[in-house]
Structure 1
Amino acid sequence: MEEIKNVNLTQLKPFKNHPFSVNFDKDFIELMKSIDKEGVIVPLLARPNPNGEGYELISGHRRKMVCEELGIEEIPVVIREMNDEQAIIAMVDINLMQREKIKLSEKAFALKMKLEAMSRQGQRSDLTSGQVDQKLKNRDVKTYEIEIEKKDNEELVFRNSEKTTNSYSSRKELAMQIGESERQIQRYIRLTNLIPQILEMVDAERIAFTVAVELSYLKETEQYELYAVMDLEQCTPSLTQAHRMKMSSQSGNLDMDNIYCILEEEKPNQKEKIKIPADLLEEFFPENFTEKQKIGLIKKLVEEWYIEQNEIDIKLSKR
């Protein structure tokens, strides 16, 4: 059952544990221009708030924020009766389809939420993120697919379609839906075991995905010790070093001294590095500059300085 109605923004509550962030970026600006000119063309999607008054927003967090910025008080919303599992699956599916830029951390937590929701649909309460390999066998399981049409930077959600299968594996089904292998699904979900500080480094591409997966096996205290060493030494582990830390952790031998020893080992093709405290130059870079762009600019300026110095030396030698 569903209906479309105009809803005051104050009645729309954010989705619990929503894993996707809303960034004030180019796409946000373009959407703001569109809504300012045309209004909200495609209704948002919500369900009656299971925890109180108003509605829980399933899809449209970015449009809601745009309307808040523009001072729009009411917007059209599709109100649909959905249980927790259907709501989570719809929220994840719509965002994965709609968003062109998704952080690894966002994808990791989204896939974990969807996998757990799909598992609960199979009436297995014992399936946790640490048991994602278990299969649901020899029972009828209902799953739901969301039909979506993308239009004018917004998404239009139509209806749930139901299907039944006799032998069901949540992770296998999820892998088929998003076009990834089951093993890759497991790797993504491993990232949810990382502490926030290391996960931020993964999102900033300072730590590679494969390295991050290995580090996710470290205990929380070990990860904090590793982060402290990385921050102090301004370095990150290679895949081989991350794997060694994982093995040391599993054998109970990983401590800060051991982390230092592993990180001090010379990496292949490792060269001496000049370390510059980030806050020393931060004020001179645009806010949206990535680490790669900062390094590139520094390199360019040093090259220009080098050429200028050579020209000065040549002029002096001719005198």
Structure 2
Amino acid sequence: MGKINLNAMKQARKEQEIETPVPEALEQAYANVWGKDKETVQYIELNHIVPFADQRGRTQPFKISEEKVSQIKLSASDIGIVTPLIVRKVGAEYQIISGHHRYIAAKELEMLTVPCVVRKISDDEAIKYVTECNIQRSRLLPTEYAEIYARYMEMRNDIDMTAQEIADKFAISKKSLYRYIKILDLTDDLKKMIDEDKLHTDTAEIFCGFSADEQDAVYEFVQQTGKKVNRTMAKAMERITQEQEVTSYEDFLPVLEQPKKPVKNKLYSGFAEKYSVNYSEEEWDNLVSELLTKHFENR
């Protein structure tokens, strides 16, 4: 059996794509009917499209999900990219506002063009559009929320919004807004642990004041003990750093032996008995606060 020439097959596929235009009926179906404003859809070559980056060169704040890219590829390999990307013109290129997963899927499938809606969006408004186009995803990671809130806070004077108005926009308290932003001051290891729900989000407010070595010790503590660190434990760790030099995760082990005051709240006591847990009053408060925050953020 002769050797298969993969390069020749790949080139033939590309030539076939070039010679076979987008069906006129499909192109016409797209044109002037996309969205409530009936925006025109254009087929733009992939090599003219680039991922989003703001004026400082920072990329869009959402993490790319390989699973989502794979899901898009399953259908796109048969019927192409159906939902147009939202892009804006920047020089000779088109910058993605919404559709990074579709863009990556199209690149991996070696498509030549993808459907796009081109919008006129200024640099000052770009991050708002990126956020609002992507915030509808079912669940964002805490670090993604942190990036979004931080960027809104940076440009609040330009967009004439106070911190309270930004918090109201995302249906969270101003206190939660600032707590999320503190996540960005953590080491990459602790950020990842917060995304993986191994640290409570409100511990960032405490751990951001730790040195890099102390944060590394927190990371090792969680790795070695398997314990999820809540705010009560984080405060106990903070006291340890104030009393001694922390050189190892073992310096934090005494927090596991912290005595707990009896719970007076009857509702909490009932939950403790029902679920066989031994939480302090503050731990119950933190848990309720965290669950309510997640509930209202996902509405």
TM-score range, shorter chain: 0.5 to 0.7
Secondary structure of residue in 2 paired with 1:78:
strand
Instruction: Give the structure 1 partner of residue 3 of structure 2.
Output: none
Of Structure 1 and Structure 2, the greater helix share is in 2
Deviation at 1:53, TM superposition (A): 3.7
Aligned residues: 217
User: Is 1:174 aligned to residue 166 of structure 2?
Assistant: yes
Of Structure 1 and Structure 2, the greater strand share is in 1
Measure the CA separation in 1 of the matches of 2:259 and 2:214. 27
Q: Could you tell me which runs of 5 or more consecutive residues in structure 1 were left unpaired when the two chains were aligned.
A: 123-167, 271-319
Deviation at 1:230, TM superposition (A): 4.5
Instruction: Give the structure 2 partner of residue 57 of structure 1.
Output: 96
Instruction: Give the structure 1 partner of residue 118 of structure 2.
Output: 79
- Answer whether contact 1:43 1:77 (CA < 8 A) is retained: yes
AA in 2 matched with 1:263? L
Measure the CA separation in 2 of the matches of 1:232 and 1:186. 30
Which of 220, 233, 236 lines up with 2:212 in the alignment?
220
- Answer whether contact 1:92 1:114 (CA < 8 A) is retained: no
- Answer whether contact 1:3 1:80 (CA < 8 A) is retained: no
Deviation at 1:4, TM superposition (A): 4.2
Deviation at 1:90, TM superposition (A): 0.7
Instruction: Give the structure 1 partner of residue 46 of structure 2.
Output: 9
Which of 195, 200, 205 lines up with 2:197 in the alignment?
205
AA in 2 matched with 1:174? I
Deviation at 1:233, TM superposition (A): 5.7
Runs of 4+ in 1 over 6 A off after TM superposition: none
Deviation at 1:62, TM superposition (A): 0.7
Return the TM-score normalized by structure 2. Answer: 0.62
How do residues 285-300 of structure 1 correspond to structure 2 at under 5 angstroms?
Answer: none
- Answer whether contact 1:109 1:189 (CA < 8 A) is retained: yes
Measure the CA separation in 2 of the matches of 1:223 and 1:238. 15
Deviation at 1:259, TM superposition (A): 6.3
Q: Deviations over 1:164-183 (max 9, x none)?
A: xxxx51x2222222211111
User: Is 1:22 aligned to residue 64 of structure 2?
Assistant: yes
Measure the CA separation in 1 of the matches of 2:86 and 2:139. 21
- Answer whether contact 2:86 2:116 (CA < 8 A) is retained: yes
* Residue identity (%): 22
Secondary structure of residue in 1 paired with 2:175:
helix
Q: Could you tell me which runs of 5 or more consecutive residues in structure 2 were left unpaired when the two chains were aligned.
A: 1-38, 54-58, 261-299
Secondary structure of residue in 2 paired with 1:20:
coil
- Answer whether contact 1:46 1:80 (CA < 8 A) is retained: yes
User: Is 1:70 aligned to residue 62 of structure 2?
Assistant: no
Measure the CA separation in 2 of the matches of 1:34 and 1:259. 48
Instruction: Give the structure 2 partner of residue 119 of structure 1.
Output: 157
